[in-house]
Amino acid sequence: MNKQEQSNELYPVLGVVTSDEITSIDKRIKSCMIENPEELNDEYYAKIWFSYKDNFGTKPDGRHEFIADTKEKLIEAIKDFLMTEKEGWCIV
C-alpha cells in the first residue's frame, strides 16, 4: 500500500482540517495554511494570517503557527489565541 492510500485510510480516524473550518472560526482570520497528518504519529499544523493594531497603527501581516496532535486541540488552540488578550496589540 502506498503512502497516499495509507493517508486516505487514516483521515476518517484522525479527521481532516480544512481551510474553511479554520477561516470560519473567526472573521478576523484572513487566510490559513494547513498540513494534516499523513501518519498516526504526525501532528496537525496550521498557520493563520490576520491584521492587527499596535501603537503604530494597523498592520496587515499578522501571523501565528499552531501544532497539535488532534484536530480538536488544533481548533481549540486557534480559538484560545484569538480570544486571549494581547499586551500592546490586538487582532482586528
Q: Tens of pLDDT along 71-89? A: 999 999 999 999 999 999 9
Q: Dump strand ranges (E) for 18-77.
A: 29-35, 44-54, 57-68
- 41: pLDDT confidence band, cut at 50, 70 and 90? confident
Residue type, 67: I
Answer whether 48's CB lies under 8 Å from 31's CB: yes
- H or E segment to which residue 89 belongs: strand 89-91
- 14: pLDDT confidence band, cut at 50, 70 and 90? low
Answer whether 17's CB lies under 8 Å from 46's CB: yes
- 3: pLDDT confidence band, cut at 50, 70 and 90? very low
Distances (CA, A) of 65 to 2, 19, 61: 30, 14, 13
- H or E segment to which residue 91 belongs: strand 89-91
> Structure pTM?
0.83
pLDDT, mean of residues 48-62: 97
In the chain, the number of structural domains is 1
Distance (Å, whole) CA 11 – CA 77: 21
Residue ranges making up the domain that contains 12: 3-91
